[in-house]
Amino acid sequence: MRITICIILSLVFVEVGFGQDSIKQHKIDSLKAKLHADSAHIYRFRKVRPFFSLDNRNSFIKDAPVNVQGLQLGIILKEKHTLGFGFYTLQANAKQNFTTKNEKYIAVNRTLRLSYLTAFYQYAFVDTRYFELDLPLELGLGGYDVKLTDAVTNKLILDKKGGTIIIGGGVGITIKPFKWFGITGSAGYRNALDNNPNVNFSGFFYSYGIWVGLGRIYRDVRYCGIKRKKCRKHIHYILNEN
């Protein structure tokens, strides 16, 4: 009789133990399934996502080097088409020769200020994990202020303000050896529709810098740093609960 009771109790405890293990495994499987769903949602293909870029360009105006500081804001459609607006500004000081009304050549100091707003479109011709080739186009409107002063007497010779239309295009290359960081560069030509010989904004430009995958960083932090970490914490709690 005692032996029978012991056997029955043992079977009950075994069944209870298997039942608890089954419940734990079910909870763990549910957490893993939810993590898989979260991963698919976070890394899903997005038809529309925001775009941001610091677009500082090196260029030349009347053979003098200038730096054009710019900011681009827009959206990326289907990972191929980027469109938006860019704002650019520059201030440059240089020396040049100036012809007076009596055809006398004098040296002058030139101060140039330029600001313009562009609407731009960029097509990702090649876009892989490690390499990207883009073809950008832009159309802009801006205003300038150019001053010429005599380099010897510092007398103001010319103070002219006006507007200009800017059309530009080129090619951009991004090399991404790391998941979050890489190097980027671009080159192109800017054509300014302005007949003022003392300005002449047309010319080649180039830029180079660091590429930062903000979208990738955001997704990885959201998944690895939050979702997966939270899931592992819950699984550890389940495995150690009585």
In the predicted structure, residue 36 carries a pLDDT above the cut 60? yes
Identify the CA nearest to 70 among candidates 218, 216, 213, 186: 186
pLDDT tens for residues 200-226?
778 889 998 899 988 888 898 988 888
- At residue 134, does pLDDT exceed 90? yes
Q: What is the pLDDT of residue 11?
A: 47
Whether the per-residue pLDDT at 137 is higher than 80: the answer is yes
Assigned token pair, 100: 């007076």
pLDDT tier at 7, thresholds 50, 70, 90: low
User: What integer pLDDT is reported at residue 189 of this predicted model?
Assistant: 93
Give domain limits for the chain: 48-212
Instruction: Give the residue, 230 or 3, on which the prediction is more confident.
Output: 230
Q: Average of pLDDT values for 138-154?
A: 86
Instruction: Output the six-digit token pair for 13.
Output: 């405890």
Taking the model in full, what pTM does it have?
Answer: 0.76
Segment 101-118, tens digit of pLDDT: 555 677 778 888 889 999
The whole-number pLDDT of residue 1 equals 57
Q: CA-CA distance, 190 to 133, in Å (whole number)?
A: 19
The stretch 148-161 carries a mean pLDDT of: 82
Spatial separation of the C-alpha atoms in residues 79 and 102, rounded to whole Å = 59
pLDDT at 233: 85
What residues contact 192, with CB distance under 8 A and at least 6 apart? 164, 165, 166, 199, 200, 201, 202
**Among 2.40.160.20, 3.40.605.10, 3.30.870.10, 1.20.58.220, what is the CATH number of 48-212?**
2.40.160.20
